Amino acid sequence: MKYCCTELDRKSTCYHEFQKGKFNDSFWEKDSLLIHDDTFYVLNLADLFYSVVPSYDES
C-alpha cells in the first residue's frame, strides 16, 4: 500500500488507526489500516477528515 500500512509494518506509535466496525477499546488490531501522522498532514488529510467528520479525534 502506498500510504497505509498494517500493524505488522508499523514502525512507531505515531499513526492514525482505522478499524472495521465499532471501536472496542483496543488499539493496533491486526486488520486495522494505519497511516503515519506525517503522511496524514503532508497529504492534507486532516482538513479532509475534519470537513467530513467534524468529531474526528486525533488522540
Predicted confidence at residue 56, as pLDDT, reads 86
| Residue 35, SS3 per DSSP | strand
Q: What is the pLDDT of residue 40?
A: 93
Give pLDDT tens digits along the chain (59 positions): 789 999 989 998 899 999 999 988 999 999 999 999 999 999 999 889 899 998 988 77
CB 2 within 8 A of CB 33: no
Most distant CA pair in the chain, distance: 30
Helix/strand/coil percentages in the chain, nearest 5 = 30, 15, 55
